[in-house]
Amino acid sequence: MPGISKSFDPKSVEWRRVTDPTCTDYKIDFEYCLLGYDIPSGRLDMLLRYAKGRGHCRRHRHVASTLTLVLEGEQHLLEHQPDGSIKAISRKAGDYALAAPDALPHTECGGEDGGTIILSMTAPDGILFEYFDENMENGWTLSIAEYVDAWNNGTVYGVAA
């Protein structure tokens, strides 16, 4: 498995910041770090750090089976249920979650002081995420290969074409 980082210490890894001022529903402001991957086996490990003041990541769902461990701060999700309702999920430092493949779409943010999580994803078909527009429609996917290519090229992953 190609390793990118020999540590998951938030103080010693390379971070890439993502913001999107065109999103007016909430503040997209997070950083991420690729820890390691194995494209043939469908594995990718990463860190995600939410900015202070409830920085969000993009609207998405996890297509890959995903282990989440909250390292620092908080993680808050608003999960869109099949019946149209919204389920609120809150996690704090030390909380662990394991999501099956094809998770429900959600928005996700840190707490007032931000938060840092580790994500370990397994995607046998290579697809990690599906992203959505402001109406939770018009999805586009991101594969492990696309994520790794973006990392190696110094660009940001998950931007619609």
* CATH number of the domain residue 121 falls in: 2.60.120.10
Residue 155: in which H helix or E strand, if any? none
pLDDT band at residue 3 using 50, 70 and 90 as cut-offs: low
Within a 10 A sphere around the Cβ of 51, how many other Cβ atoms?
Answer: 19
The parent domain of residue 85 ranges over: 16-153
- Which structure tokens are listed for 128? 């990690």
pLDDT band at residue 22 using 50, 70 and 90 as cut-offs: confident
Q: Does position 67 have pLDDT exceeding 70, yes or no? A: yes
Cβ atoms of 96 and 68 within 8 Å: the answer is yes
The predicted-structure confidence for 102-126, as pLDDT tens digits, reads as follows 899 999 999 999 999 999 999 999 9
- % of the chain with per-residue pLDDT over 90: 70
For residue 10, tell me if it sits in a domain.
no
Pairwise CA distance, residues 44 & 145, whole Å: 10
For residue 111, tell me if it sits in a domain.
yes
- Which structure tokens are listed for 76? 């808050």
Of residues 59 and 67, which shows the higher confidence score?
Answer: 67
The predicted-structure confidence for 45-58, as pLDDT tens digits, reads as follows 999 999 999 999 98
